[in-house]
Each structure stands twice: as C-alpha cells, then as structure tokens.
Structure 1
Amino acid sequence: MPRVRHHLQGSNPTKGTHLFQAQVSSSNLLWEEMHKQSIVFLFLSLASLHNVMAYMGVGGGIGVWINGQNAPPSSPSIPSQSREFQALQAWKQAITEDPKGILSNWVGPNVCTYKGVYCSDSPDQTAPSNVVAGIDLNKANLKGILVKELSYLSHLTFFHINTNRFSGTVPDSFRDLQLLTELDLSNNQFSGPFPTGTVFIPQLFFLDLRFNQFSGEIPDELFQKNLDAIFLNDNQFEGEIPPSLWSSPASVITLANNKLTGTIPTTFGYMSSRAKELLLLNNKLTGCIPETLGYLTGMEVLDLSFNSLNGHVPGSLSCLTGIEVLNVAHNQLTGELPDVLCDLKRLANLSVAFNFFSGFSQECNQLPNRNVGFDFMGNCIPGQDMQRSQPECNGVSGGDLSCLRIPGNRPVGCGTAQATLGIGIGVGIGSFELPPVGLSASMGPVP
C-alpha cells in the first residue's frame, strides 16, 4: 500500500516545483526511512488492538486478509447487521464511478473479503471476531464522496485513498475515528474549509491533504497535535500561518503552493523542534526571514522561495549545520550573502536566484568546487553573469528597517537558547538571550 512519494509530487505541478530536483535524493532517502518507521508504527498500533503474533499470521492460523485474496480461517462470520457492513455499503452507494471494478466484490456481510479492506482480530470480545483495521484504495480511480457512516469503522487505524476522484467535503464525523493514525486524502478533488474534524482524532500521526481544493484558514489547533507529518501543499489555503506552528513536533511540514499571507511566525524558532523539512514556497509571505529559524538545528530542507520576503538573510541560518537544501530564490532579499552560510558543511544545494543580493564572499565562490549546486542568477552582483540591470538594482528598497542586519560571524550559542541578533541598521547591534520555549522576548508568555 504505497503512500510515500515526493512531497510536491502530483498531476498538476505549479511553479517552483522544478526547484526541488536537487533535493529529491535526500528527501526521498529521508522518507524511505520514515516510511519504514511508519509501517513499524502501524504494526505497533495494531498490536495495541490485538495479539501482534496473530496479526502476523503466527500461531493459530489467524491472519489479515488483504484485498480479499485469502478466505478467512474457520471463525464466526461477521453478521450482516454489522455497523462496518453498513458503513462500507453506504460508502459504496456514494461511489458513482469504479472503472477498474475495485468494488465488485463488496458484496455480502463478510467485509474482510472486500478488496482494499484490511482486517485484524478484535480487541473487544463482545464485538465480531474480526474488525476493519484499515482501508487502502490508493490509485483506484474511484469517483464519489465520503459518507458520515465511515465513522462506524471504530477500529480503523489507516485510511488511504490518494489519487482518486473523490470530491465534496470531509465529514465531521471523522472525529469519531478514535484509533486512526494515518489519513491520506491527497490527489483528489476535495473542497471546502480545512476538515476540522481531523484535529480531534486523538491518535492521528500522519495527515496528507495535498493536491486538493481545500480553502480558508489553517486552524491553529493543527500544529498542537502530535503529528509527525503534515502535508497541506497545493491547495487554496489562505490567511496567515498560525503562530502555533512553532509548537508542532512534526518532522515534515509542507504548506507550499497555497495563498498564505503575512509573515513567517518568529516564535517557530524557539521550539525544541524535530523539524527536518519545512516547505513554504510559492505563497504570498512577506517580511523578514526570522532570526529564530536558525535555531531549528535538525533542519535538512528549508524552502522559502517564490514569496515576497525582504531584508537581509540572517547570519543565524549558519546554525543549520545539518542543512542540505536551502532555497530562498524569487524573493526581494538584499545585502550580501553571509560568509558563514556558504561554509555549511552538509550543504548540497543553495539557491538565492532572483533576489537583489549585492555580493557574496570568496567562501560562496568556492561552493561549486565542493560540488554544491549554487544558483545566484538574477541578482545585483557586480562582475557576475546573468544579473539584473543596474537601473533595476538601483530601484529596489532595502525593505523594512527591522529586516536589515549587519553581516557578521556565526552567532554564538548555535543549538542553544542564545543568539547574537542584529537589532537593526541605524539602531545598533545588541545581544539578548532567547526566552525559553513558549515565551516571547517582549510580551511574556505566549497564549
């Protein structure tokens, strides 16, 4: 049941997607490992429902019947009045096109023989001997809607229906799927506001809504959940990124190719984050690149391209010692590229193209000799090819005064709660200690 693929992969790629070619290998390796962990996590989740040896088919001849390929061993049949039977039959009636005949064997009360339905032993002795533990109908080309009766599948741990033609909204009754850990609705035609019922699913670990037509604001509660992966890219989400982004424990967050506005929340960098990939490209973000982004020391891929960010690149990004792909192309950034940024040892691809940078150091000039992809075209760097015209360079402003920083050495305290931050050109340079997680330097506790 394949589900893990490149984060921005889909049938309708938008501008900016091509910039990910350089990061595919590192990103795929990361997600191959995450996929293995996810499978392990799934088995552990199922183990909490039943005897894991039975699930694996060891002992007693009890197993999982996948896609209706194997008839179940001698055990009581699931009664026709089963709520699971009602749920799947109601959903089948709401599916209007099934060109591959996937649902042709969705007949009769024994739902464990249905193609795409995964069963396991019931943890409840008062329930039928086997219960629906998962649904995987990826790439089935089904057309239809989701129905509220799907919440009757109370033992469901994964629900994968990516790359189909489902439309409409996600029923709020999904909040009743108390054991669900993985929800993949990607590459469909869903619309309406963010499916808020999903933020009330207590065990949810993986959420994939990318390549749909969801709109409206992203709820603040989403980033307060114990999710490991959040894929919201290629929708129509708008409004500002919730300030709670900093509190998410997710290792991958993709909000790319939406209509998000406002600034990148500065509080994001204060967290004890496990973030490895943060993709915010192709939105309508403005303001500075926050100094505090430099303290996400586990970051491997950071893409802020195709926005309207301005000011100087903060030297604190040199604290991203594990960074492999850094993309700030197609913004309105100015000043010189910090030396220490080009000195990052694990860097594989750095793109600063189509900004208004006025120069970079010898250290940056040596990046190609280290086999580091370095794209600086479309800037204002004297003596370099493929740069902007002088009138165009003269016409750019430096952005908000608060975004201007004097380039310096690597900030002290990388990986800790300390940083040396430029307060602003014309104001002076000062130092302060970053507050503990959950505190704001100027406003005290963050609500």
Structure 2
Amino acid sequence: MQSIPIFSLLTTILSLSPKISGFMGISVGVGVGVGVGVGVWIPGNAPSPASTDNVEYIALQSFKSSIADDPNATLSSWSGPNICSYKGIFCSDPPEPLPSASLVVAVIDLNRANLAGTLTPDLSLLSHLSALHLNSNRFSGSIPLSLSNLQYLSELDLSNNLFSGPFPSSTLQIPNLIYLDLRFNSFSGQIPDELFQNPNLDAIFLNNNQFQGEIPFTLWSSSASAITLANNQLTGSIPASFGYSGPGLKEILLMNNKLTGCIPEGVGYVTGMQVLDLSFNSLTGHLPDSISCLAGIEVLNIAHNKLSGDLPEVVCDLRNLLNLTVSYNFFSGVSNDCTRLLFRNVGFDLAGNCIPGRDLQRPAPECDGTSAGGLSCLRVPGMRPAGCGGAGGDGMSGLPYFFRVSVP
C-alpha cells in the first residue's frame, strides 16, 4: 500500500477542528488488558459513514502505513471509508456538535496483535481519542511529541514493546491522562520530577525499564493510587519526604533497584497503604517505628536488604497483614507476636537473618555487625507519630515544616 504523506499537509485541517475541552472517557465495553476487538458503532442518530477525506481516516491509514510487520493480518480490515468497522477501532458519538453526524474514533485497542513498527505523529489527528491500548506488540523508537495534543486521552498503555530513549515528555503534557503504563520497554535516563505533579494521574507503571538516577523528590506530591518503579536501575535513597502524599496512595513497588540509605520515618504517614515492596535493594538501618501506623497494609516485603536490629513487635501486630517478608536481612531478634503470625494464616518469611535459635539463618561470620553496613538511621526529631496521629490519620499533604525553605 502506498504511504500517505500527511502530517505536514493536515495542519490546516486540524486547526479547523472545534476546540476540545472537558470530554473524559467513553463507554464502549473495553477494559485494560483485553485483546484485539472488532470496532463497533455506538448507537447514534443515524450517523453517515466516514469519508476518505475525513481526518481520522487519514490518521488511521498513516498508522497502518507505519506498520512494518503484521503477522496476524490484524489490520487487513483497515480499508474503505467505514473506519468504525476496522478491527480494534471503537467509535462513539462526539462530545461536542460537529458539522457532520459522523461518529468519532474514541478507542484504539490493539493489545497482543504482535505488530512491529513505529508510532506515527498523525495519531494526534484522532482528536477525540480517549484510550490507546497497544500493549504486547513490537513497536519501537520514541513516543511522538504530538500525542500531547490528545486532550481527551485518559488511558495510554504502551507496555511490553520495544520503545527506547528518555522518558517520553509528551506524556507529561496530556491534560486528562489518568492511566500511564510504560512497563517492559527500554526507556532510560532519569524519571522527570513533573511526572508526580500531575494531579490527574491515578496509575503510574514504569517497571522493567532502564531508568536511572534518584527517585524524584516530588514523589510526595503524587495523587496516584498505584506507583510501580520496580526493576529499574534507580539509585540513592527513598526521598525523605516519602509518606506526605496523602491518603490516596495504596500501592508502591520499588523492588529490585539499587536504593540505599534508610527507610524514612514518613512511610508510616501513608496510612492507606495496602502494598509496599522495597525488596532487593541495599537499604540499611532499623525499621522506623512509624511502620506501626500502616493500619491497612496487606503485603509488606522488605526482603533482600541490609536492615538490622530487632523486628519490631508492632509490625507483626498489623491486623490486615496477609504477607510479611523480611528474609535475607540482618535482623537479630524477633518477638513472639511475629511467631504467632503463622496461626493467623499470614505468610511470614524470616529466613537468612541473624536470629539465634531460628532455622535457615546466616552463618555467624556474616552477622558480625559489619556486613549490614550502617546499623542506625538518623531520624528527624518530631517525625515520629504520636499514636499515629502525626498525619491526622489520613496522611499528610504538602511538605513537612523542616523541608520548607525559602528560595531567593
């Protein structure tokens, strides 16, 4: 099929489209992670078929032209003017009156289609697109800057592809983005501070890339409920302000990086946390007392670090625990309350520590107090919660007073 040169030629056409504002999502029965579906017409008032001069038709043909390999012939139906019948395309009534009665492309769902190619900048011409699902394909290259023009886009799933380069800055400019999934690619470089300052993002999945550098200090400002930065090459310590993001954060996964330093006291202020995984890093020192404030925690994994001291009794008393993994650290003591976890059907693994009388512990030479590195952590005075009231029971927003500084 002959490639259609379009992006530079359609700037004028795109500028004639109505200004987009306020449209958030559609209802087409498409969930995250579903397979490729056949496009359907959403009932409207007898819409006329799309014509071949329609800007959305041209955008989809540009997308098709950018595909180098389609082994399952997924895009074989992408011909003719009726774009809403294309496989993987879902249409909806437009959110605002348009000159014609045509439906608009609202969702592209080509998950697991095994397509190889690049993303054309002309995707930005699909000005009413609400969800773009392209996981488990072989797309490569970078993410077009023009995607920042998709003012209605709320879900972007590009996971399990071959994308590379720095963090895609275009995703920071998509105004209504709620779900961002870049897992299992080859992105590298630093994670930008701005990512955690987007008030709309509720899910941020960056695991299994090659991101480097420190976790941005702005992590505290994120309003997301789930953040996954696991399986990268992040270094430095967990930001000292961690835990001041408010009650919305339910799950954070930082395992298998190169993090060092102590677990900050502020972790206990995220009182709504349900899953916290800090395993396979090089964290040192004692667990902060504020861990006892994680009343809703269900899964706590701090295995394969260099933590030391006694495993606090208050950790094992957390009533919602389903799994507590502290294996392969340098803990030297454990309370009887922790032993009783087994009777509560709580998964509990403390192998590979330095606890006398326990099975599967480290050899004595490894427990001489040096292998674990620094054994104490500097705790900022006033950070320890009084009866878990330091965060008002619902987390704490903004920076604590000792982080507030004046900048000339």
Smaller-chain TM-score bracket: 0.7 to 0.9
| Identity level (%) | 59
Rounded to whole Å, the distance in 1 between the matches of 2:330 and 2:272 is 29
CA-CA distance at 1:267 after TM superposition? 1.1
Q: What pairs up with 1:275-424 in 2 under 5 angstroms? A: 275-396=249-370, 399-400=373-374, 403=377, 411-417=385-391
**Aligned residue identity for 1:124:** P
Aligned partner of 1:239 among 209, 213, 228: 213
Rounded to whole Å, the distance in 1 between the matches of 2:40 and 2:400 is 57
C-alpha distance 382-200 of structure 1, shift in aligned 2 (>3 A): same
**1:45 equivalent in alignment to 2:5:** no
CA-CA distance at 1:369 after TM superposition? 1.3
Rounded to whole Å, the distance in 2 between the matches of 1:381 and 1:183 is 47
Contact 1:280 1:304 in 2 (8 A): yes
Residue of structure 2 in register with 1:78 after alignment: 50
C-alpha distance 368-211 of structure 1, shift in aligned 2 (>3 A): same
Residue of structure 2 in register with 1:223 after alignment: 196
Query: What secondary structure does 1:414 align onto?
Result: coil
Residue of structure 2 in register with 1:437 after alignment: 397
Deviations 1:173-232 (A, max 9, x none): 110001000000011111111111001001000000001111111111111112111110
**Structure 1 stretch 110-119 or stretch 295-304: which is displaced more?**
110-119
C-alpha distance 45-149 of structure 1, shift in aligned 2 (>3 A): same
Contact 1:71 1:113 in 2 (8 A): no
**Structure 1 stretch 77-86 or stretch 195-204: which is displaced more?**
77-86
Residue of structure 2 in register with 1:162 after alignment: 135
Rounded to whole Å, the distance in 2 between the matches of 1:249 and 1:331 is 28
CA-CA distance at 1:76 after TM superposition? 2.0
**1:255 equivalent in alignment to 2:234:** no
Where does structure 1 lack aligned partners over 5 or more consecutive residues? 1-43, 57-65, 420-434
**1:188 equivalent in alignment to 2:148:** no
CA-CA distance at 1:142 after TM superposition? 0.9
Aligned partner of 2:244 among 263, 270, 291: 270
Residue of structure 2 in register with 1:143 after alignment: 116
C-alpha distance 415-280 of structure 1, shift in aligned 2 (>3 A): farther
Contact 2:133 2:155 in 1 (8 A): yes
Query: What secondary structure does 2:220 align onto?
Result: helix
Query: What secondary structure does 1:346 align onto?
Result: coil
CA-CA distance at 1:396 after TM superposition? 2.2
Aligned partner of 2:59 among 81, 87, 90: 87
Contact 2:139 2:161 in 1 (8 A): yes
Contact 1:312 1:404 in 2 (8 A): no
Deviations 1:418-441 (A, max 9, x none): 79xxxxxxxxxxxxxxx9632344
Residue of structure 1 in register with 2:16 after alignment: none
C-alpha distance 293-82 of structure 1, shift in aligned 2 (>3 A): same
Root mean square deviation, CA, Å: 2.4
Aligned partner of 1:108 among 40, 57, 80: 80
Rounded to whole Å, the distance in 1 between the matches of 2:111 and 2:266 is 39
Rounded to whole Å, the distance in 2 between the matches of 1:417 and 1:382 is 37
Query: What secondary structure does 1:380 align onto?
Result: coil
Deviations 1:312-363 (A, max 9, x none): 0111101001111100000000100111111011111111100011011111
**Structure 1 stretch 264-273 or stretch 226-235: which is displaced more?**
264-273
Contact 1:247 1:268 in 2 (8 A): no
Rounded to whole Å, the distance in 2 between the matches of 1:294 and 1:279 is 16
Residue of structure 2 in register with 1:4 after alignment: none
**Aligned residue identity for 1:219:** P
Contact 1:438 1:445 in 2 (8 A): no
